[in-house]
A and B are shown apart, each in its own frame.
Chain A
Amino acid sequence: MVNFGSLREAIKRIDIPTLIIVFFLIGLFILAAATKVSVTTLLSDSIVRIGMNGVLVLAMLPTIRAGIGPNFGLPVGIIGGLLGGLIVMQYQVAGPIGFWIAVGISIVINFVLGWIYAWLLDKVRGQEMMVETYVGYSIVAFMSIMWLVLPFTNPEMIWAIGGKGLRYTLTLQNYFDKALNNFLRFQIGKNFSFPTGLVLFFAGSCYLVWLFFKTRPGLAIDLTGQNELYAISSGVNPKKARRNAVILSTVIAGVGILVYAQSYGFLQLYQAPLFMTFPAVASILIGGASIRRATITNVVLGTILFQTLLTVSLPVLSQVTRGDITEVLRLIVSNGMILYALTRTPKEAS
């Protein structure tokens, strides 16, 4: 029997923006059905986008739980991931195995990057979000110089004319394009294709992270984020706990960008890493997280809502106006959500 009392309580606890988005989404679906846009294609595309972005959103979880807020410095981890992918391409490792090797390399790189990054953040305790953002920007700008200078020689990667420097986007067609998506993919009818490997990977990552927070180091992170003094009185070293959270977040981000890239089919360099951060932050917030509190449910729910919104709005709204309204919508929704989260009083946030 549905307990209406607790249902009402549950709804009261959902944020207003989240509710708005849900209603907007329902409206879009109805519009889609009414205007003969294929709903099954929409669903299929949505699932792909959810799987492809989910792991990046997952990277937000550890730092929020550690009390540092969402990881605005996602580009650091993304660059580690990109390096992994680039190395795989440079050594011409073809096929799905390339994906796993890239993941492995990126984890190692991001362990180191994450360590350094955590050291920096600890020095600026209290201003993490701002410093993260601009460190992220600086590193992306710095790496833009590096992409031009680093000695990659695979002709598929570098500019045809001039022969020096990596291109803006590198196609993964001969490498690990769709490595996860195609794994155990199955089709229902004409329009619906289910990327089993991708969904399994996302679900598996969520499960691993969920499990991690049940271990002692995970608990240490939680305690540090909830009440630093309680954590200290339990023998936790808050600096170490926060460091672990940052490293974990960075590592997940590296894996996340590779998941994204294999689904998209391209590795995007230069300015691209910057565009992944705010949507990921917004997604977890839309899923119900706050600056101080987040759960796996927030990750999954938020990714589903945000990505479905973006997927569905393009074909549906392009019947009314130009297609690039999705870009604008993305800007407004993601930044609006983050703004909402930042302007809530601490009482509202918990």
Chain B
Amino acid sequence: MRNINKFYYGNQVLKDVTITLDEGEILGLVGENGAGKSTLMNILFGMPVIHSTGGFGGEIVFKGERVNIDSPMKAMELGIGMVHQEFMLLPGFTVTENIKLNREITKPNFLSMVFGKRLELLDMEPMREEARKALDTIGMHSIDEMHLVAGLPVAHKQFVEIAREIDKRSLKLLVLDEPTAVLTESEAEILLNVVRLLSQKGISIIFISHRLHEVLEVAHKIVILRDGAVVGEGPKEKFTLFEIAEKMVGRKVENLELPPRKVPLDENKIIMSIKDLHVHMPGEEVKGFSIDIREGEILGIGGLAGQGKLGVANGIFGMYPATGKVTYMGKEYQLNSPLFALKNGIVYVSEDRRGVGLLLDESVEMNIVATAIQAFGMFTKRFLGFTIYDRKAIREHALRMIKELDIRCKGPAQPVRRLSGGNQQKVCLARAFTLNPKVLFVSEPTRGIDVGAKKLVLDYLVKLNREHGITIVLTSSELAELKSICDRIAIVCEGKLAAVLPPTASDVEFGLAMAGELEEVKAHG
């Protein structure tokens, strides 16, 4: 693939990405969520979502020829196979039927000769045999090819997916997207062996994974994506684990001059104490996170994608089911209740701006005040015995917030959908501030917005902290951002707290902490 450019919603998601792959080579593709890996693979596989959002720039050269891959079928014809992150298996079918999906072996009969090939009868015997062969090739002798997929353990499903791809005789390039995400250590070992086996047979493989040590084990060459651009590539011998981790997250930081505090931080004044927090947020599971949040600080929460950092704030605020022991201002804190959180001054700005943070078809002003009206009854007046919302008060407040945050819009009545990403985020912050927070949890506040707006958002957070004494917990996958305004940075790995580092700690330390290796290195000196 050469010079791939891809735009999404006006944001450039992939910038001049070029990767090359030889026959039988295993390429490890690493990068944060949002770095562009999935998009790149969707382009390669001709997924419809690419074409319905404007296509892409650049070219794909396959076996020396330029190709135009505009559908999964086309990709399959060329010999490209993909094992997606979400299972593409039909639960009501057997293993064999899934392996042979839309490539079934059939026998002609009288009706099919009249009405067409689709009326040919399925020939189960040869299908079974071929499925069996595919399964055996990857060493999965224990999987019964006539078993329904619905009852299979997760690891087996993963291997069935791989069997399906290698059953395609013309397979030349196989993409594996997070294949070990659901596997145990030993199962992952088996999978890595399968990968090596396939590469020996001449099949090229693109291996995408967050488990960096696996990538280093099995890949021949490594490509690191960050913010849609290639920031590192080369044979695997060139990289160490922490070099990879560092490249994934490290960025040049301008040291911001942060205004001083009126009252210096006291590490004994704890506003919220979290012990053994477990949050069931699919993709960002928290498995026993503990930390003490100091009053008045800006605490950063960082870590690699899928390791759980986003789950912490979501769990505290009650958006996802959580358990654990949390105390707030000395008293017991009730989890799983957004209303409780709001009423106690805990406000949450979600990482999912469009999905959770905004009412896209409502006006700017309503977006700012709706939660305040609903949770606290602010901006209301009495009328004919009802308590209804007060248009005038809302308008006044909205105008004030628009001015304070410099929200670029045609007016408070404009639907929020029309605003740019940066301005939408400002609306979210305005909404948060309207709720008079004592502790503000913000997740990925600058994702997908332009540089100018980024600075404004971060400056505003600092202002809230310094001028209003609001404790801020900032969750972000951009380490530079965390380093620029946080007093301390907690790193989450495998759902637990891996380390708490000062912003001045080196990128190496951060990289290791994120990869879960910090203790090891420290232990080994």
Contact = CB atoms under 8 A, between A and B. Distances in A.
A236 interface: yes
B358 interface: yes
A227 B355 CA distance: 8
B319 A216 contact: no
A10 B325 CA distance: 55
A27 interface: no
A215 B386 contact: yes
Q: Which of A219, A220, A232, A235 has the most chain B CB atoms inside 10 A of its CB?
A: A235
B386 A233 contact: no
A204 to B, nearest CB: 12
Contacts of B348: 233
Given A233-B350, A234-B338, A219 B375 contact: no
B361 A212 contact: no
B12 interface: no
A219 B370 contact: yes
Interface string B352-375: 100111111110000000110111
B383 interface: yes
A214 interface: yes
Interface in A223-252: 223, 226-227, 229-230, 232-236
A206 B389 CA distance: 18
Contacts of A233: 317, 319, 338, 348, 350, 356-357, 371
B377 A216 contact: yes
Contacts of A216: 373-374, 377, 380, 387
Query: Interface on chain B toward A: helix, strand, loop, or mixed SS?
Result: mixed
A214 B388 contact: yes
Q: How large is the interface on B (under 10, 10 to 19, 20 to 34, 35 or more residues)?
A: 20 to 34
A214 B389 contact: yes
A246 B229 CA distance: 51
B220 to A, nearest CB: 43
A20 interface: no
- Which of the listed residues A220, A223, A233, A235 has the most CB atoms from chain B within 10 Å of its own CB? A233
B125 to A, nearest CB: 40
Contacts of A235: 338-339, 342-343, 371, 374-375
B319 A230 contact: no
Name the prevailing secondary structure of the A interface residues: helix
B451 interface: no
A215 B387 contact: yes
B263 interface: no
B318 to A, nearest CB: 8
B395 to A, nearest CB: 14
Contact of A226 (B362, B384, B389): B362
A232 B338 contact: yes
A188 interface: no
A233 B351 CA distance: 13
Contact of A223 (B342, B343, B370): B370
A297 interface: no
Contacts of A220: 374
Interface centre among A211, A212, A234 (most CB of B within 10 A): A234
Interface string B283-323: 00000000000000000000000000000000001110000
A127 B388 CA distance: 32
A50 B388 CA distance: 29
Contact of A227 (B318, B359, B380, B389): B359
Nearest to A234: B371
Given A230-B359, A235-B342, A211 B375 contact: no
Nearest to B343: A235
Nearest to A232: B338
A59 B371 CA distance: 26
A138 interface: no
A219 B373 CA distance: 8
Contact of B383 (A211, A232, A350): A211
Interface in A186-224: 211-212, 214-216, 219-220, 223
A244 to B, nearest CB: 13
B284 to A, nearest CB: 15
Contacts of A293: 361
Given A230-B358, A234-B371, A219 B338 contact: no
B356 A211 contact: no
B443 to A, nearest CB: 12
A212 B387 CA distance: 9
B319 A212 contact: no
B386 A212 contact: yes
Nearest to A226: B359
A350 B317 CA distance: 30
Given A211-B388, A216-B377, A229 B371 contact: no
Interface in A76-128: none
A349 to B, nearest CB: 11
A211 B357 CA distance: 26
Nearest to A228: B356
B386 A211 contact: yes
B361 A226 contact: yes
Contacts of A214: 386, 388-389
A234 B386 contact: no
Contacts of A229: 319, 350, 352, 355-356
A212 B389 CA distance: 10
A256 to B, nearest CB: 21
Interface in B367-410: 370-371, 373-375, 377, 380, 383-384, 386-389
Given A229-B352, A350-B361, 19 more contacts: A211-B383, A214-B389, A215-B389, A216-B380, A219-B370, A223-B370, A227-B358, A227-B359, A230-B358, A230-B359, A230-B370, A233-B317, A233-B350, A234-B338, A234-B342, A235-B338, A235-B342, A235-B375, A236-B374
Interface of B: 317-319, 338-339, 342-343, 348, 350, 352, 355-362, 370-371, 373-375, 377, 380, 383-384, 386-389
The 8 closest A-B pairs by CB, nearest first: A235-B339, A214-B388, A234-B371, A235-B375, A229-B356, A234-B374, A226-B359, A235-B338
24 contacts: A211-B384, A214-B386, A216-B373, A216-B377, A216-B387, A219-B373, A220-B374, A223-B370, A223-B374, A227-B355, A227-B356, A227-B358, A227-B360, A229-B352, A229-B356, A230-B359, A232-B319, A233-B317, A233-B338, A233-B350, A233-B356, A235-B338, A235-B374, A236-B374
